[in-house]
């Protein structure tokens, strides 16, 4: 079987033990077949509680701990996980399935393949519910926004991002969607001069709050949004349209 990158992934028999290196995939598997999940990163917070072995972060996983868990399959993402770590796991004889997701359509297709092909599970009901939740045609970009994702230095959503695609579907256009980089560093004075009529501030990966975020953009409306509903792909997509619309006003 081939993962999202076209890499052949061979498992040794049935998949009964899975380690997930991606919070979105952890939640997806835990909601679908929790008995399969034996390991997850420290950043895998949903659903809670999650009684599995913690194996470090997405960028610095404990490879020895993962190998000791003897997973039949390791779930990863080409953006969230480092190639050097994935290659080390493969060298240790582990099967690694890598997802690639830049749009909502890619998310649905990748989740379906990950669960039904890689893990040999029935398609979960929440996946169809998520597709229904996002079935309305995309709205025109009536608001022009900057979407910071980090501070010190300031970084924003650029081109070709999953979060940018979600926002575009609910009428929020990304002023940096044409930038050559996907997550460009942009100095605050340039952000202030970009002409945005909205600033979208998620609580991850940088945790923007009412006290740390809106004050940097005086005179521009700011919306604090759930990073899980903006950047995760999985069961959170079922409620994400309503959650995001409520936060964006």
79 with 169, same domain: the answer is no
In a domain, 96, yes or no: yes
Structure tokens at 39: 């390991």
**100 shares its domain with 162:** no
135 within domain boundaries: no
Within a domain: 189: yes
203 within domain boundaries:
yes
**Is residue 8 a part of any domain in this protein?**
no
Helix (H, G, I), strand (E, B) or coil at 126: helix
Answer whether residue 241 is part of any domain: yes
Q: How large is the average pLDDT for residues 120-136?
A: 97
pLDDT tier at 249, thresholds 50, 70, 90: confident
Task: pLDDT band for 12, please (50, 70, 90 cuts).
Answer: confident
* 199 and 158 fall within a common domain: yes
- CA-closest candidate to residue 222, choices 232, 231, 212, 233: 212
Residues 207 and 239 in one domain: yes
Q: Residue 6 contacts by C-beta under 8 Å, 6 or more apart in sequence? A: none
Single residue among 123, 157, 185 that ends a domain in this structure: 123
* CATH number where 233 lies: 3.40.50.1980
**Per DSSP, which regions of 42-134 are E strands?**
53-54, 73-77, 96-99
Whole-angstrom Cα distance, residue 185 to residue 164?
16
Supply φ then ψ for residue 202, to 5 degrees: -80, 165
Is residue 130 situated within a structural domain?
Answer: no
Mark whether 172 and 204 lie in a shared domain.
Answer: yes
Same domain, 73 and 34: yes
What is the structure's pLDDT at 150?
Answer: 98
**Structure confidence at residue 211 (pLDDT):** 97
Tokens 């926004």, residue located: 145
Return the higher-pLDDT residue of 208 and 139. 208
Looking at the structure, tell me whether residues 164 and 222 fall in a common domain. yes
To which H or E segment does residue 156 belong? strand 155-156
What was the pLDDT predicted at 139? 74
Same domain, yes or no: 101 and 147: no
Q: What is the pLDDT of residues 138-158, one digit of tens each?
A: 777 689 999 999 999 999 999
Whether 87 and 148 share a structural domain: no
Average pLDDT of the chain to the nearest whole number: 96
pLDDT in tens, 61-118: 999 999 999 999 999 999 999 999 999 999 999 999 999 999 999 999 999 999 999 9
**Section 206-223 average pLDDT:** 97
If asked whether residues 153 and 230 sit together in one domain, one would say yes
Do residue 30 and residue 74 come from a single domain? yes
* CA nearest neighbour of 94 among 178, 153, 21: 21
pLDDT given for residue 141 in this prediction: 65
Q: Do residues 30 and 109 both lie within one domain?
A: yes
Out of 95, 123, 151, a domain closes at 123
Two tokens at 147?
A: 């979407």
Q: Which residues are registered as beta bridge partners of 223?
A: 200
**Can you give the residue range of the structural domain that contains 212?**
143-248
Which of 123, 155, 187 corresponds to the end of one domain? 123
Assess if residue 137 is contained within a domain.
no
Domain count along the chain: 2
């Amino acid at each position: 079987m081939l993962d999202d990158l076209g890499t052949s992934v061979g498992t040794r028999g049935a998949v009964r033990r899975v380690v997930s290196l991606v919070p979105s995939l952890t939640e997806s598997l835990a909601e679908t077949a929790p008995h399969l999940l034996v390991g997850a990163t420290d950043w895998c917070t949903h659903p809670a509680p999650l009684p599995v072995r913690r194996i470090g972060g997405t960028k610095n996983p404990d490879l020895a701990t993962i190998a000791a868990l003897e997973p039949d399959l390791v779930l990863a993402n080409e953006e969230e996980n480092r190639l050097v770590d994935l290659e080390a796991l493969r060298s240790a004889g582990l099967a690694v399935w890598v997802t690639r997701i830049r749009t909502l359509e890619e998310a649905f297709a990748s989740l379906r393949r990950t669960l039904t092909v890689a893990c040999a599970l029935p398609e979960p009901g929440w996946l169809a519910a998520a597709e229904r939740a996002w079935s309305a045609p995309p709205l025109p970009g009536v608001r022009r926004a900057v979407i910071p994702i980090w501070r010190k230095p300031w970084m924003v959503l650029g081109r070709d991002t999953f979060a940018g695609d979600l926002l575009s579907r609910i009428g929020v256009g990304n002023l940096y969607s044409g930038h050559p980089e996907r997550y460009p560093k942009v100095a605050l004075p340039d952000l202030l001069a970009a002409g945005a009529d909205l600033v979208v501030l998620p609580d991850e990966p940088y945790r923007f709050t009412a006290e740390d975020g809106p004050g940097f953009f005086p005179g521009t409306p700011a919306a604090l949004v759930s990073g899980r509903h903006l950047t995760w792909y999985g069961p959170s997509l079922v409620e994400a349209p309503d959650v995001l619309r409520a936060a964006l006003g």
